[in-house]
Structure 1
Amino acid sequence: MIPHVSRLLELWRIAAHYRLDTLFPAEELPEKARHVLSLIRLHPAAWSSKERKNPLKLKLALEEMGPLAIKLGQLLSTRRDLIEPEILAQLVLLQDRVKPFDSTIAKTRIQQSLKADIDTLFARFDEQPLAAASIAQVHTAALHDGREVVVKVTRPNIRQQILQDFEILQWLGERLEKRIEAARALHLTEIIQDYRQIILNELDLTLEADNTRRMRHYFTGSSMMYVPEVYMDSYDVMVAERITGVPISEIETFDRLGMDRADLAEKGLTIFFTQVFRDNFFHADMHPGNVFVETINPANPRFIALDCAIMGELSKHDQMTVARMLLAVMNSNFMQLIQIVHQAGWIPPGTDQDALAREMRRTVGPMVSKPMDQLDFAGILVQIMDIARRFRLEIPPQLMLLLKTLVHVEGLGTDLYPQLDIWKLAKPILTEWIKSNANPVKNIKEIGQQIPDLLLGAHDLPSLMIDSLNGLKNQSAWHEKQLRELQTMRLQMEYQQKRSWMFGSIIAILLSIAVISPWYVSVVLIVLASVIAIWRIGK
């Protein structure tokens, strides 16, 4: 059954009202996409719509559709290489210029959540929002000691809509997995469930506050990135240090201040690899509205990390797998790449690994042989997903968040400095990290650090051994009982088979006699009834 039909009808109405079918020429779209456009035009809202020529119709439609649609727009806003400039200009506005909610509601939520009056909390509170996004909006204020702060407050009444939209996505994901092999290989429904939890976590600003404090700890004293301090937080509100900077998308400002964009792009990528491999805690929502650059020191600017709500972590095994895969790609060693993927358990048995290596060389090879400005990174990722589908590769869901972040990072890096050599920068970082983590001395030290826990656990070892032996004993007794019951059942079945054969033989003889001499029919029937009676008594 289709969930939340009324919500689907509402989304259809919004798409029709803003005439989203007119965004792209129909002849440039796949046939299935044209059917969707036709469906939009069938809604009565499209017949009387005056939004056809509205230059902001996509932005307004995504805003009205809700937080998940805005998130999609934010993701696409980093893809200047894929999106037409007219559409991109609308999507960029979704990074921090979503329609705000009333400041009176914001102040009420702040007072209720922090359990104090606005005048008690702040010496000054600016009612005009500084920025507004999909989940929350931000107001500027000042504490009573003079510190300038930003106050982030979540939008009211959005949780229920988010839950409804994810139920619809889950329903769509289940049907796609049944019909499309690539969706099954990607574990699409698991990805949707993971992302659902991520978005719901974003509604809890205490989690964002904890993430911000953790990242601030990792980059304390760093010359590459600054993380603002958090002063107060609750489920709906977070008060943090106000920073001075500009979004990473303001390239004209960097040029006017004489910043070295190549150096800035390299610094950004170094931060990303540091987060993924050194800290195993990476910012997973890196659209330009969340990544700022300091302007007070143009000769050596730092990045500023904002909105640490969506963060990613990998297991130690996945970290090592990703690092080795990237190094294999950089070295153009595609057979080694396949071996690494095989060791990770992503390749099903019986796969033609030579053919898979050839496909990877054809698809991934250009990534290391061409400059960034000549690559369609998103297109290459689509091809890799197609290879995963055709070879039935199992891609762990936890890596999809990293993949999404890579798309963001590549888009931001290309904007800053198209000629950036991402592989030249990444190779020494990955090589050093692998050497460090494969160092036997370090591994022995880690084992040594675990010795106290092992010794403490040894105290319980005798009782654990006794419990295990008793378990084995009980299990052995249970197996013996099961074996005896199976033997009894086998003997009964053999006995029943013999009786069935004897009964069938008697019936065949009696019927033969009846056919030969009809005078004996009555005798045959009497004997047959007797046999059946004896059979029932025997049972």
Structure 2
Amino acid sequence: MIPHVSRLLELWRIAAHYRLDTLFPAEDLPEKAQRIMAIIRLHPAAWSSKERHNPLKLKLALEEMGPLAIKLGQLLSTRRDLIPPEVLSQLVLLQDRVKPYAVDVLKQRIQDSLKADLNTLFARFDEQPLAAASVAQVHTAALHDGREVVVKVTRPDIRQQILQDFEILQWLGDKLESRLEAARALHLSEIIQDYRQTILNELDLTLEAENTRLMRHNFTGSSMMYVPEVYMDSKDVMVAERITGVPISDTATFDRLGMDRADLAEKGLTIFFTQVFRDNFFHADMHPGNVFVETLNPSNPRYIALDCAIMGELSKQDQMTVARMLLAVMNSNFMQLIQIVHQAGWIPPGTDQDALAREMRRTVGPMVSKPMDQLDFAGILLQVMDIARRFRLEIPPQLMLLLKTLVHVEGLGTDLYPQLDIWKLAKPILTEWVKANMNPIKNIKEIGQQIPDLLLGAQDLPSLMIDSLNGLKNQSAWQERQLREMQNLRLQMQQQQRRSWIFASIMAILLAIAIIAPWYVSVVLLVLSGLLALWRLA
């Protein structure tokens, strides 16, 4: 059964009201997309709509559709290589220019959440929002000691809508998994569940505050990135240090201040790999509204990380797998790439690994020899997903957040410095990391550090062995009891079957006698009653 039909009808109405079917010329769309556009036009809201020529109709529609639609718009806003300029200009506004909600409601929300009067908390509070996004909006203020701060406050009453939309997405994911092998290979339902939890976590600003503090600790004293300090936080409010900078997309300011955009792009990529491999804690929502650059020192600018609500982590095994895969691609060693994927358990038994290596070489090989401005990472990623579908590869859901982040990073890098040689910069970083983590001396030291824990655990070993043996004994007794019960049940079924066969045979004979000689009916009934008595005794 389709969940939340009323919500689906509402989304259809919004798309029709804003005439989203007119965003692109029909002849430029694939056939399936044309069918969707035709469905939009069928809604009565499209017939009387005056929004057809509204230059902001996509932005307004996504705002009205809610947080998940805005998130999609933010992701697409980093892809200048894929989105037409007139559409992109609307999506960029979704990074920090979503329609704000009433300031009176916001003030009361701050006071209720921090349990203090606004005048007690701040010496000054600016009612005009500095930024407004899908989940929260930001206002500037000053503390009583003179420190300038930003106050982030979550939007009220959006949790229920997010839950509804994810139930619809989950239903769609389940349907796609049941019909498409590619969806099963991607573990689409698990990805949707993980992303659901990620977005719900974003509604709790205490988690963002903790993420920000950890990220700040990881980059303390760094010449590459600065993370603002958090002063106060609660579930709905976070008060943090105000920074001075411009969004990463403001290339005009970089040129005006004489910043080295190539150096800035290299710093950004180094920061990304540092987060993924050194810290195993990476920013997974890197649209331009969340990544700023300092302007105080144009000769040596630092990045500024904002909105640490959505963070990614990988297991140690997945970290090593990703690093070795990237190095194999950089070295154009695709047989090694397949071996690494096989060792990770992503390739099902019986797969033609030579054919898979040829497909990866054909698809991924051209990436290594091209600069960033000639790469279509999103397109290559889709081709890789198609290969995964055809060869039935298993792609762990935890890697999808990393792939989403890579799409962001590539989009930002293409805007900042299109000639950036991503492979030349990444190769020494990854090589050094892999060597360090495969160093036998380091591994022996790590084992040595665990010896005290192992010794302490050894004290419990006898009791653990006794518990395990008792568990096996109990399990064996339980299995024997289950086996006896099954044997008894089988015996009862056999007896029941035999009785039923005998009774049916006798009834058939008696019925035939009754038909042939009706005057024997009384005799038949007498015999039948005797048989029933014997049946009960049996």
**TM bucket normalised to smaller:** over 0.9
Aligned to 2:429: 429
Go from structure 1 to structure 2 and tell me whether the alpha carbon gap of 1:483 and 1:107 turns closer, same or farther (over 3 Å shift): closer
Question: Which amino acid in the other structure matches residue 354 of structure 1?
Answer: D
Matched, 1:401 2:401: yes
What is the correspondence of 1:210-359 to structure 2 with a 5 Å cutoff? 210-359=210-359
Aligned to 2:85: 85
Aligned-pair CA distance for 1:471: 2.2
Aligned-pair CA distance for 1:52: 0.7
Matched, 1:144 2:144: yes
Task: Determine the C-alpha separation between the residues in 2 that align with 1:479 and 1:29.
Answer: 62
Which one is further off, 478-487 or 294-303?
Answer: 478-487
Matched, 1:370 2:337: no
Q: CA deviation digits over 1:305-364, x for unaligned, max 9?
A: 000000000111111111111111111111111111111111111111111111111111
Aligned-pair CA distance for 1:474: 2.9
1:318 is paired with a residue whose SS is: helix
Aligned to 1:73: 73
What is the correspondence of 1:437-456 to structure 2 with a 5 Å cutoff? 437-456=437-456
Normalising by the residue count of structure 2, what TM-score does the alignment of the two structures yield? Answer: 0.92
Structure 1's unaligned 5+ residue stretches are none
Q: CA deviation digits over 1:422-455, x for unaligned, max 9?
A: 1111111111111111112211222222222222
Go from structure 1 to structure 2 and tell me whether the alpha carbon gap of 1:257 and 1:504 turns closer, same or farther (over 3 Å shift): same
Go from structure 1 to structure 2 and tell me whether the alpha carbon gap of 1:261 and 1:486 turns closer, same or farther (over 3 Å shift): same
Question: Which amino acid in the other structure matches residue 89 of structure 1?
Answer: S
Task: Determine the C-alpha separation between the residues in 1 that align with 2:99 and 2:500.
Answer: 82
Task: Determine the C-alpha separation between the residues in 1 that align with 2:487 and 2:86.
Answer: 78
Task: Determine the C-alpha separation between the residues in 1 that align with 2:114 and 2:498.
Answer: 83
What is the correspondence of 1:417-496 to structure 2 with a 5 Å cutoff? 417-481=417-481
Aligned-pair CA distance for 1:165: 0.9
Which one is further off, 286-295 or 339-348?
Answer: 339-348
Aligned to 1:117: 117
Aligned to 2:209: 209
Aligned to 1:183: 183
Go from structure 1 to structure 2 and tell me whether the alpha carbon gap of 1:483 and 1:65 turns closer, same or farther (over 3 Å shift): closer
Go from structure 1 to structure 2 and tell me whether the alpha carbon gap of 1:493 and 1:268 turns closer, same or farther (over 3 Å shift): same
Go from structure 1 to structure 2 and tell me whether the alpha carbon gap of 1:129 and 1:537 turns closer, same or farther (over 3 Å shift): closer
2:428 is paired with a residue whose SS is: helix
Aligned-pair CA distance for 1:278: 0.3
Task: Determine the C-alpha separation between the residues in 1 that align with 2:12 and 2:230.
Answer: 41
Go from structure 1 to structure 2 and tell me whether the alpha carbon gap of 1:468 and 1:73 turns closer, same or farther (over 3 Å shift): same
Task: Determine the C-alpha separation between the residues in 2 that align with 1:311 and 1:476.
Answer: 46
Go from structure 1 to structure 2 and tell me whether the alpha carbon gap of 1:530 and 1:136 turns closer, same or farther (over 3 Å shift): closer
Aligned-pair CA distance for 1:472: 2.3
Aligned to 1:199: 199
State the number of aligned residues.
533
Question: Which amino acid in the other structure matches residue 408 of structure 2?
Answer: H
Aligned-pair CA distance for 1:491: 8.0
Matched, 1:106 2:106: yes
Question: Which amino acid in the other structure matches residue 296 of structure 2?
Answer: I
Task: Determine the C-alpha separation between the residues in 2 that align with 1:162 and 1:500.
Answer: 59
Question: Which amino acid in the other structure matches residue 281 of structure 2?
Answer: F
Q: CA deviation digits over 1:478-529, x for unaligned, max 9?
A: 444555666777888999999999999999xx9xxx9xxx99xx9xx99x98
1:414 is paired with a residue whose SS is: helix
Aligned-pair CA distance for 1:56: 0.8
Task: Determine the C-alpha separation between the residues in 2 that align with 1:530 and 1:108.
Answer: 85
Question: Which amino acid in the other structure matches residue 312 of structure 1?
Answer: G
CA RMSD of aligned residues (A): 2.7
Aligned to 2:15: 15
Go from structure 1 to structure 2 and tell me whether the alpha carbon gap of 1:483 and 1:237 turns closer, same or farther (over 3 Å shift): closer
Q: CA deviation digits over 1:21-59, x for unaligned, max 9?
A: 000111111211111111111111111111111111111
1:232 is paired with a residue whose SS is: strand
Identical-residue share of aligned pairs (%): 86
Task: Determine the C-alpha separation between the residues in 1 that align with 2:126 and 2:503.
Answer: 97
Go from structure 1 to structure 2 and tell me whether the alpha carbon gap of 1:489 and 1:406 turns closer, same or farther (over 3 Å shift): same
Task: Determine the C-alpha separation between the residues in 2 that align with 1:431 and 1:422.
Answer: 14
Go from structure 1 to structure 2 and tell me whether the alpha carbon gap of 1:342 and 1:534 turns closer, same or farther (over 3 Å shift): farther
Task: Determine the C-alpha separation between the residues in 2 that align with 1:138 and 1:497.
Answer: 76
Aligned-pair CA distance for 1:475: 3.1
Aligned-pair CA distance for 1:532: 7.6
Task: Determine the C-alpha separation between the residues in 2 that align with 1:256 and 1:475.
Answer: 75
Aligned-pair CA distance for 1:538: 8.2
Aligned-pair CA distance for 1:473: 2.6
Aligned-pair CA distance for 1:477: 3.6
1:54 is paired with a residue whose SS is: coil
Q: CA deviation digits over 1:407-433, x for unaligned, max 9?
A: 000110111111111111111111111
Task: Determine the C-alpha separation between the residues in 2 that align with 1:263 and 1:127.
Answer: 38
Matched, 1:25 2:25: yes
Aligned to 2:127: 127
Question: Which amino acid in the other structure matches residue 299 of structure 1?
Answer: S
Which one is further off, 371-380 or 82-91?
Answer: 371-380
Q: CA deviation digits over 1:244-268, x for unaligned, max 9?
A: 0000000111111111111100100
Aligned-pair CA distance for 1:459: 2.1
Task: Determine the C-alpha separation between the residues in 2 that align with 1:237 and 1:310.
Answer: 16
Question: Which amino acid in the other structure matches residue 465 of structure 1?
Answer: M
Question: Which amino acid in the other structure matches residue 128 of structure 2?
Answer: Q
Go from structure 1 to structure 2 and tell me whether the alpha carbon gap of 1:354 and 1:532 turns closer, same or farther (over 3 Å shift): farther
1:434 is paired with a residue whose SS is: helix
Aligned-pair CA distance for 1:144: 0.8
